[in-house]
Amino acid sequence: MNPQEMKPQREAWYRSKTFKRFRRNPLAIVGSVLLLGFVAVAFFAPAITAPQLAELRTARPCLRDLGIKKDEALSALRNPLNPVFWKATLAPPPTCYEIPRDGYSPLPKPPSEKHPLGVSGGSYDILYGLAWGTRTAFYVGFLVVGISLAIGIVIGGLSGFIGGTVDNLIMRITDVMLSFPGLVFVMIVSVIFGSGLTTVMLALALIRWAGYARFFRGDILRTKAQEFVDAARAIGASPLRVFLKHVFPNAIGTLLILASMDVGSIVLTAAGFSFLGLGAPVGYADWGQMISFARGYILGTAQGTPFDFWYVWIYPSVMLVLFGLAWNLLGDAVRDALDPKS
Amino acid sequence: MLNFIVRRLLQIPVVLFVLSLIIMGLMQLLSPEQRAAAFVTSDKQIENLDLIIEKYHLREGFFVQYKLWAGEVIRGNLGFSRISKEPVLTTIQKRFPASMELALAAFVPIVLVGVWLGTQAATHRDGLLDQVLRVVAIVGWSLPTFVVAIWLVAWVYGGLGWFGIGRLPGSLLIELAGSDFRKYTGLFTVDGLLNGRLDIALEALKRLVLPAAALVIVVSAGIMRVMRSSMLDELGKDYVRTARAKGLAEKTVVYKHARRNALIPVITMAGPMLGRMIGGIVVIELIFNFPGLGEWAAGAALQLDVTTLLAFVMLIGLIMAVANLLVDVAYVVVDPRIRYE
């Protein structure tokens, strides 16, 4: 027999039992389809909003930074053969995240041919905000998860690797971080560093690493107790080598998967701050900021005619809830699939 | 037990001390003028910021400043709140009962709904009810508090005209200010009953329904999920089989034997849940025009009122520390095997 064939074959992930359990869960399918929809909207946002970019005068800075004229906008942004299409899709200039406005009227206007989903107070185009807001959502979610995961892995790894007093101290710190309300923490940070989307993202990352650190430490301790680690130590591997080559790669998988499912809840939280006025500035393509336009109409004067301006807040809030739902459905299915008891 | 409680109570000042160190440390990033606001006690003093900076040595190092700040706090001067235009302590005394009333009105239904639905889901495992509740829980968990609050205000209050927003209608508040209505607790529902003013108690209760409902929808989903899984764990254990084998009614097995043990993970979750609830209360007070601490703090964050926020953070720290102590006491109540000696 060829010695090559005797090597244990690594099972392909798509054939694994875990993935099978995941695939057979109808909720997982719903979540995946929803999420694919959001990815598509985010990807094609420039193509979807090409008419608004071409027609509204306040969209000029975006077109200028893309290097096209308003007559070319429609054809360039919807033609995948044009290099501008790829520039707008993959690396749009920051000016494109400003929702273009059609005048300065404080009153919202219902859906029309020019504005398929209407305009909100201040005449901001709602369709534009929703489409580009999807990009903001993914950006915020992935960046916060990325940063907090990096901090969590380093600190949780140190805690699990060194152990003893250091471990004890780190765990007490995470206790405090976990029990302190995140909202209050973000409020302090935005008073000190000034409010803005960046501050909110930073503050969320600084509060969320604690959960990951704890989880990772637990997985490290569990992996450390297994026989292959003892075996590696017995043949004389140094503690650092045992940790980096044997413990770390085996402990990190679950954390990465579970943490990536937190994107949804992070986006919901960040949207809440934009709604309060601590996050994205007025006019930025962000769902929470768009919902805040509705505060004036719903509170106070709304009695009797609350649905006059329904399009101002129903569209962005439904997008937001569906986005959170997609990630949570997926996350729930993943947790179930990873749980050997189910 | 008493020994344990006293020991934990003594720890609370330590927790607050560490918290204040962290926050004062962060505040060193602010300019001396911004920090001077923390020592102002009246509107007039704001005009003389330079004198205050001199007097309190705000251009000096961290330790000098911390000592000064702590000295003021121990003497009971938490500073002057720019946004409520009065000393911080006065505002806290005024607004605390409002938030307290809302928190109490939401807390009881949150626990009852969460525990009850979780038990139902576990006893009907994989049945229709369980599947429905599972989707309900995921949806509830995916709803941001402010979206639920806006939907409720628009649809139930605005569209149907039910309940109301604020704490009491303006006309009643004006009437109360002129009458000899005594504030025993500051909670309008309780004070209304104690003063024999049933109409006030009812009005106040009516206005608590929507904000409390918004909190219940958002927070109880989490409790329900924990309750379901811990209930399933308990129902699979040997003592449950024994109880069934000796012929106990299913009701007794589930509600008397299993549920009590299944509550322990739920109690463990109470801390994070309270955090979520405090965050929710801030947003909800803002949307429902509810004059509580959360609305005040949110305003402070928007207007960069450092003094107010500092006091709010210390208060939240105190509340969380007391809550964690209560959680530990609750363990003993639910599970008498747990001892802290």
Here the tokens at position A235 are 């043949």
Model pLDDT, residue A332: 83
Model pLDDT, residue A268: 92
Which range (A325-334, B157-166, B232-241) has the least confidence? B157-166
Average pLDDT on A198-204 reads 91
Q: Per-residue pLDDT tens for A284-303?
A: 999 999 988 877 666 655 45
Q: Provide the pLDDT confidence category of residue B41 given band limits of 50, 70 and 90.
A: low
Model pLDDT, residue B3: 83
- Chain A residue numbers with beta carbons less than 8 Å from the beta carbon of B134 are 27
Model pLDDT, residue B308: 84
CB contact under 8 A, B139 and A195: no
Average pLDDT on B116-138 reads 90
Average pLDDT on B24-53 reads 71
Query: What is the least distance, in Å, from the CA of B137 to any CA of chain A?
Result: 10
When the pLDDT of each residue in chain B is averaged and rounded to a whole number, the result is 83
Q: Does B240 touch chain A (CB under 8 A)?
A: no
- Chain B residue numbers with beta carbons less than 8 Å from the beta carbon of A328 are 138, 141-142
- Enter the CATH code of domain A27-43+125-342: 1.10.3720.10
Best CA proximity match to B181, nearest among B166, B203, B162, B164: B203
How far apart (Å, rounded) are the C-alpha atoms in residues B119 and B262?
9
Here the tokens at position A232 are 């590696």
Say if residue A69's pLDDT is above 80. Answer: yes
Q: Provide the pLDDT confidence category of residue A318 given band limits of 50, 70 and 90.
A: very high
Nearest-by-CA chain A residue for B16? A176
Which range (B25-34, B35-44, B168-177, B215-224) has the least confidence? B35-44
Nearest-by-CA chain A residue for B145? A272
- Chain A residue numbers with beta carbons less than 8 Å from the beta carbon of B313 are 184, 188
A-B Cβ pairs (cutoff 8 Å, strict) = 138
- Chain A residue numbers with beta carbons less than 8 Å from the beta carbon of B153 are 298-299, 302, 306
Classify residue A286 as exposed, middle or buried by CB count within 10 Å of its CB (0-12, 13-18, 19+).
buried
Q: Does B272 touch chain A (CB under 8 A)?
A: yes
Nearest-by-CA chain A residue for B268? A179
**Rg of chain A on CA atoms, in Å:** 24
Interface probe for A, chosen from B138, B219, B289 (most Cβ of A below 10 Å), is: B138
How far apart (Å, rounded) are the C-alpha atoms in residues A324 and A282?
23
CB contact under 8 A, A276 and B301: yes
Write out the H or E segment, with its range, that includes residue B13: helix B2-27
CB atoms within 10 A of CB A230: 11
Residues 6+ apart with CB under 8 A from B162: B156
- Chain B residue numbers with beta carbons less than 8 Å from the beta carbon of A334 are none
Model pLDDT, residue B176: 76
- Chain B residue numbers with beta carbons less than 8 Å from the beta carbon of A299 are 153, 165, 287, 289
Query: What is the least distance, in Å, from the CA of A21 to any CA of chain B?
Result: 15
How far apart (Å, rounded) are the C-alpha atoms in residues A308 and B19?
47
CB contact under 8 A, A184 and B135: no
Which amino acid, residue B214? A
CB contact under 8 A, A298 and B30: no
Say if residue A342's pLDDT is above 60. Answer: no
How far apart (Å, rounded) are the C-alpha atoms in residues A186 and A165?
30
Model pLDDT, residue A303: 52
Model pLDDT, residue A85: 87
Interface probe for A, chosen from B147, B219, B237, B305 (most Cβ of A below 10 Å), is: B147
Which amino acid, residue B294? G
How far apart (Å, rounded) are the C-alpha atoms in residues A92 and B276?
36
Average pLDDT on B174-190 reads 77
Residues 6+ apart with CB under 8 A from B277: B103, B106, B107, B110, B215, B219
Best CA proximity match to B320, nearest among B277, B274, B285: B274
CB atoms within 10 A of CB A16: 12
Pick B144's closest partner by Cβ from A271, A305, A306: A271
- Taking a contact as any Cβ pair under 8 Å apart, which residues of chain B between 100 and 159 contact chain A? 134-135, 138-139, 141-147, 150-151, 153-155, 157-159
Here the tokens at position B226 are 């924990």
Average pLDDT on B42-57 reads 71
- For B100-136, the three-class secondary structure string (H helix, E strand, C coil) is HHHHHHHHHHHHHHHHHHHHHHHHCCCCHHHHHHHHH
Q: Does B275 touch chain A (CB under 8 A)?
A: yes
CA A268 to chain centre: 9
Please state the ipTM of this predicted complex: 0.81
User: B261: number of CA atoms within 13 Å, CB side?
Assistant: 16
Phi, psi of B87 (to 5 degrees): -60, 145
How far apart (Å, rounded) are the C-alpha atoms in residues A226 and A223?
6
The domains of chain A are located at 27-43+125-342, 50-90
- For B163-194, the three-class secondary structure string (H helix, E strand, C coil) is CCCCCCCHHHHHHHHHCCCCCCCCCHHHHHHH
How far apart (Å, rounded) are the C-alpha atoms in residues B91 and B196?
27
Best CA proximity match to A204, nearest among A167, A151, A134: A151
Which of A49-63, A205-219, B13-27, B43-57 is the most confident on average? A205-219
CB contact under 8 A, B150 and A191: no
How far apart (Å, rounded) are the C-alpha atoms in residues A309 and A289?
16
How far apart (Å, rounded) are the C-alpha atoms in residues A207 and A120?
33
Here the tokens at position B127 are 């049945």
pTM to 2 decimals? 0.86
Classify residue B229 as exposed, middle or buried by CB count within 10 Å of its CB (0-12, 13-18, 19+).
middle
Best CA proximity match to B165, nearest among B282, B279, B291: B291
- Chain B residue numbers with beta carbons less than 8 Å from the beta carbon of A193 are 29
Model pLDDT, residue B43: 66
3-state DSSP call for residue A9?
Answer: coil
Strand partners, B81: B86
Q: Per-residue pLDDT tens for A149-163?
A: 999 999 999 998 888
What are the counts of helices (DSSP H) followed by strands (DSSP E) for chain A? 19, 2
Q: Where are the beta strands (DSSP E) in A32-161?
A: 119-120, 124-125
